[in-house]
A and B are shown apart, each in its own frame.
Chain A
Amino acid sequence: MLISKTAPRKTLFWKIARHLAAIVAIVLLGGLLSATLVRLAPGFDSDERELDPGLSAESVRALRQSRGGEHNILRYYSGYLRAAWHGDLGTSHALGQPVQSLLRERWPVTLRVAGVGLLLAWLLALLLAFTACLWRVPVYEMMGITLSGAFLCIPAAVLALLSVILNAPGYLAIALIVFPKIYRYSRSLLAKAYELPHITAARARGLGEMRVLARHVLPVAGPQMIALAGVTVSIALGASIPIEALCGLPGIGQLAWQAALSRDLPLLVNLTVLVTLVTLLANSGADVMNYVLQPRDV
């Protein structure tokens, strides 16, 4: 017999430990990859400040020396990790501010824009997908497919431009980028679940639609939807770069854009680590949640 029973604590502990170990390894590698990329990028050594005619030869030498530690990438990265362990994330070359304070200033903006965008996207997609499955009206279904298809075809940067033209908030652009992916996937999951024989039997016995949905459909489609929730965090974070850059929102996305353009090694390494960490935590969180909620044989 299958009943919902919480996952054994010991197995859950090892599952979380494995996830954490993988996250640490991937985040460290991601940071190293990003540092190597910036170090190898053409023009890494050039600093615009050196072109200032008002600077003395000594100042130029001091500027060069300040970046001297970044030439050997392994030495730089180990130094960065040591400093990060003690809470020092370095100083941005382009903005001249400690990375820690930049992240503290910018993170709430991205959290708000991406968070509200994600929430809106999920609400709209689930509303359309559930009603399409419940009502099963071909015109309504076609409308949902057309709407999601249209937004799937528009680049994130165009949606950002359109939100500027229409004076719409940035989170709406994020919602419209994420919505079609959630709608299409959840619509297909729900449709497949509704085709299962036990659901047809439940309906034939006269069980109410909402009860069928809550008791029989959601337990089948739920785990994959939770996994999708983890993936949508990554999509929203990626979309926040063009949206924040074009809509003038001072968040992490705009910061990443500025850091990449100015080849700001400390800032870019920290941002890569942060973005990778958030993405992996979202995906692992979804995986662990699925494991916890999974019904087990007893």
Chain B
Amino acid sequence: MNLARKLACVVVVFVCAVSLAANWLAPVGYAKQFREAPGAPPSHEHWLGTDEVGRDRFARVLYGTRISLLLAPAAALVSTLLAALVGGLAGYLGGIWLRLARGFTDLFLSLPWLFLLITVRAVLPLNVSPLTSVLITFLILGLLGWAAAARVLSTSADALRNSDFVLQARASGLHGPRLFLIHVLPNLKPVLYAQFWISIPVFILSEANLGILGLGVAEPLPSWGSLLRELEGLMSFREEPWRLVPLVLLIVVMTSFQMLLSKEEVTA
């Protein structure tokens, strides 16, 4: 692991650890309103000031980071599992199943990702509890984001189906799910890992897009998307530069993920 990757790894682990320690680092919580100080600049009490309704911005950044950083991998896990199920099985079965799966993934991939995501989220209920909105947002990401990974997995599984060791296993009498679980799936692991890691930054960005458009996590729960929505009222960067902190944090974490990713992609 080179120095840049080590640094990226440290950044991601540090940001995750700090966000997990939000309860101790920001005991005021993300929802408490300081009604006497709405829109306050940074001070000893509020390190990043307060938002328009007087909530501590530092606490909201920590809690928002926790939600975005923990749930994006969860959504990535759902999408990778779906991709393994659709793409892996179709590639392993081959024939009509492979053609059907490819047709289905082509249908998903022919719709631009943001168009599909925003449309699906917008037609689902928006007036729901914050917890439900978190579940809906990240579940949609997981359920819609599998197509590209499934395409890659179907190709890999198709190649494995005709490989020497699978043919030998078949000749030895191993068939069906056992052959898939023992010989095919373990060999798909590198591709699965790569797809999982690739999906995380994609889902973080997608959640941010949804949040800014008001389709993401519902108030008062914070997420990077809802925190970035605050930029909407900003007239100039010099006015309140501390409002850019969530954006800077997002860029730092995404850059770190990019640096970590290349290794996974190479491995796949």
Contacts and interface: CB of A to CB of B under 8 A. Distances in A.
* Chains A and B are bound partners: yes
Interface of A: 22, 25-26, 29-30, 33-34, 37-38, 41-43, 149-150, 152-158, 160-162, 165, 234-235, 237-239, 241-242, 245-246, 256-257, 260-261, 263, 268, 272, 275-276, 279-280, 283
B88 to A, nearest CB: 23
A242 B114 contact: yes
Contact of B110 (A155, A242, A261, A276): A276
B208 A157 contact: yes
A234 B103 CA distance: 18
17 contacts: A26-B103, A30-B107, A41-B123, A149-B255, A153-B205, A155-B212, A155-B225, A156-B114, A157-B228, A158-B247, A161-B228, A237-B115, A242-B213, A246-B213, A256-B118, A260-B122, A276-B110
B186 interface: no
Interface stretch (B30-38, B190-198, B234-242): B234-242
Contacts of B232: 161, 246
B111 interface: yes
A237 B118 CA distance: 13
A153 B201 CA distance: 8
Interface in B111-157: 111-115, 118-120, 122-125
Contact of A34 (B103, B114, B119, B254): B119
Interface of B: 103, 106-107, 110-115, 118-120, 122-125, 201, 205-206, 208-209, 212-213, 225, 228, 231-232, 234-237, 247, 250-251, 254-255, 258
User: Secondary structure at chain B's binding surface: helix, strand, loop or mixed?
Assistant: helix
Most buried by B among A37, A42, A160, A161: A161
B125 A239 contact: no
Nearest to A162: B231
Contacts of A152: 254, 258
Nearest to A245: B213
Nearest to B232: A161
A272 B115 CA distance: 9
Contact of A155 (B111, B119, B124, B228): B228
